[in-house]
Amino acid sequence: MKMKKLGLIVALLTALVPVFARAVTLECEPKATSIVPEFHFNEDTQRLRFDFPEWDRVYILEFTDSLSSPVTWQQRVIIKPSGESPRFSEVATEKQRYYRVWELPTFGTGQPVTWQVNVRPSQVSFFTFTWIGDDGVSRSLTSSDTFTVYYQTTGVKTITVTAFGGGTQLSASGAVYITDRPGFDNLVSNSRFEQLDGDGEPVGWSQDEWGNISTDFELVDGPTGKAAKVSVFDRTDEGDAKWYFDRVPVIPGALYQYKDDFFATGENFITLELEHTNGDVSYDDVATLGGSGVWQKADVSFTVPVDVRALTVTHLIQEGELTIDNVLLRKVVPTSPPIIIPPPVVQPPVVVPPVTPPQSRGLISLDFDDMWLEHFTVVYPMLKEFGLHATFYAVTSHLGQQKYMDENQLRELYLNGNQIGAHTKTHPHLMTLTLVEAWQEVKGSRDAIRAIGAGNGDMFAYPFGEYNDAIVDIVKRNGFIGARATNDGVNEKKKTDLYLLNRRGVGPGTSLEQMKAWVDEAELRDVSVILLIHHVDNTGIAYSTTPEKLRGLLQYIQQKKYRVGTASECIKFLSQ
């Protein structure tokens, strides 16, 4: 019975989702495709397993416990299969759960990805659109115009758009998967001339001729479908003719390969049309080929000059007929040459006198979250008394509110050697927000810290310790050098993820002896130990410690001469 219920749930998703659409909505394209993977329930292990149809794709699995309006979908995982049988499984629960799965559109590196947004209903046109891409750059458009991005690195690429107008704010987001797998690396988008415009001409292709010649351009049958043919006759002087695809951005200094299938009755040439960074255009002949009257294969490689930003490749003929098909232009991924290791050289033994190894020295960081007023009135005087510094993570919308520090106090902490880190604007559950809202929370807190002169704000702490891949990516793209979560543990050099730093959480049940043992661990193991403290008072509320315990800890650190550093110094320590 469980299998039947699960099957019904998955099948219903596509039909149910539009029911709850708002009166005016945005759709960001290209958009993911809804799919229904195979799934199996194992009675013995109580696990539900999803099997996906293809490898080297990205699938987003989402779930909700209820389809009551408004539906809140939670992202479970982004799957990046790399084998023949991609799958994902999770422990099944007793309660009913609804799933849906999306496959992201896949493009090759360097291929054009054209983003656009559709407003539903289409007659609504009073919005101003703000786009935020993976590069963190905002683009403001007065209409839902399209723009094209050429991604040069692999992975999941996201984009978000927010529309403002008539007192209404709407948001949408999109994602694509960029791969360098063969078959997805062709920079020529209509390489087989199959896509035609309203006039019957191949999309993305143009014709050109020069000189005293007569020409005829046409689409004909080729080896795999349509092919592009040009005929040159009545030539009385210099001249040539060719089909060519739209220029594509390229990487200066990189190696590229051009290939096509061609049929020629006379000598033909492959020429690069190069667009330089100053806007000038030049030409470079890279191959001369013979015409044999049978189908042949052209295959040439070339290195892009350092001052070239875009190019197209023209396969041209000066007299006779030339037909081309299956056109390919791709960036060549270099392979590393084999490493030759010389045989070892036998040296006489060297006698080294014994050396007493130096005592290992770790690093202790004191983190205070949420910008409580007692951090300034109680903690700050203690730090000055013992000559220590700490990192204070600020929720910037709380500045100057009751029980919180104001900007003058926060700035004084910074000017006296402490670090101010970003902890969002309003301390939300980031994973429940849209990507645009999350971006604004993360970036806004850092901007506010800089605006009041409290430092660069280059460290981040996740509110409630909650994060996923998308949130971590937003933090990285906003220029933070590291981030702290709430996972319990220490941080090891060159092992710990700098954007998921561990901590030791201090609460009312944490004894002074326990805190001493934690800081001892930093010294004994040569690791970084971050002590996370919230309230410092005698209330005994959650996440609090007393002023007496904190004083005892600082006194112990001073007596032991342990090294204490800010969060940024922790990043430097872990990067050694």
Looking at residue 504, its pLDDT comes to 93
How distant is the alpha carbon of residue 527 from its chain centre? 29
Q: For the chain, what percent of residues have pLDDT higher than 70?
A: 82
Decide if pLDDT at 247 tops 50. Answer: yes
DSSP class of residue 105 equals -
Mean pLDDT, residues 541-560: 93
101 in a structural domain: yes
Lowest mean pLDDT among 129-133, 224-228, 276-280, 559-563: 129-133
133 compared with 366, residue with greater pLDDT: 366
pLDDT tens per residue, range 199-240: 999 999 999 999 999 999 999 998 878 999 999 998 888 899
pLDDT band at 53 (very low <50, low <70, confident <90, very high): low
96 compared with 467, residue with greater pLDDT: 467
Decide if pLDDT at 576 tops 80. Answer: yes
- Of 468, 471, 466, the C-alpha closest to 438 is 471
Residues 154 and 292 in one domain: no
State which of 179, 196, 213 marks the end of a domain. Answer: 179
DSSP class of residue 338 equals P
511 in a structural domain: yes
The token duo for 433 is: 């927000």
Strand partners, 244: 206, 314
Lowest mean pLDDT among 99-108, 215-224, 273-282, 565-574: 99-108
Contact indicator for 127, 163 with CB cutoff of 8 Å = yes
Residues 294 and 430 in one domain: no
358 in a structural domain: no
Q: What is the mean pLDDT of the chain?
A: 82
pLDDT tens per residue, range 61-118: 777 877 777 777 776 655 555 554 556 666 665 567 777 887 888 887 777 788 887 7
Residues 241 and 121 in one domain: no
Lowest mean pLDDT among 38-52, 80-94, 449-463: 80-94
74 in a structural domain: yes
State which of 164, 179, 194 marks the end of a domain. Answer: 179
Looking at residue 185, its pLDDT comes to 73
CATH number of the domain to which 254 belongs: 2.60.120.260
Mean pLDDT, residues 416-437: 91
Decide if pLDDT at 287 tops 60. Answer: yes
pLDDT band at 126 (very low <50, low <70, confident <90, very high): low
Looking at residue 8, its pLDDT comes to 36
Helices (H) and strands (E) in the chain, counts: 9, 35
Residues 288 and 247 in one domain: yes
How many CB atoms are closer than 10 A to CB 274?
20
What CA–CA distance (Å, rounded) separates 217 from 359?
80
What are the residues whose beta carbons fall under 8 Å from the beta carbon of 376, sequence distance 6 or more? 405, 409, 412, 413
Looking at residue 435, its pLDDT comes to 84
CATH number of the domain to which 415 belongs: 3.20.20.370
Residues 43 and 100 in one domain: yes
What CA–CA distance (Å, rounded) separates 117 from 29?
6
CATH number of the domain to which 162 belongs: 2.60.40.10
Residues 33 and 107 in one domain: yes
Lowest mean pLDDT among 47-51, 110-114, 282-286: 47-51
pLDDT tens per residue, range 503-518: 999 999 999 999 999 9
Residues 471 and 410 in one domain: yes
Residues 101 and 214 in one domain: no
Mean pLDDT, residues 45-66: 73
Residues 302 and 419 in one domain: no
Lowest mean pLDDT among 26-40, 167-181, 353-367, 478-492: 353-367
DSSP class of residue 378 equals I
State which of 179, 213, 229 marks the end of a domain. Answer: 179
129 in a structural domain: yes
Residues 167 and 239 in one domain: no
265 in a structural domain: yes
Residues 301 and 161 in one domain: no
Total domains in the chain come to 3
pLDDT tens per residue, range 148-197: 787 877 777 888 888 777 677 777 778 888 877 666 778 888 888 988 99
- Of 249, 261, 260, 259, the C-alpha closest to 304 is 249
The pTM assigned to this predicted structure is 0.43
447 in a structural domain: yes
Residues 238 and 164 in one domain: no
171 compared with 120, residue with greater pLDDT: 171
Query: Domain range for residue 530?
Result: 363-574
pLDDT tens per residue, range 330-346: 887 654 344 343 454 44
29 compared with 298, residue with greater pLDDT: 298
64 in a structural domain: yes
Decide if pLDDT at 290 tops 50. Answer: yes
What CA–CA distance (Å, rounded) separates 91 from 79?
17
Looking at residue 420, its pLDDT comes to 96
Contact indicator for 42, 53 with CB cutoff of 8 Å = no
Contact indicator for 256, 330 with CB cutoff of 8 Å = yes
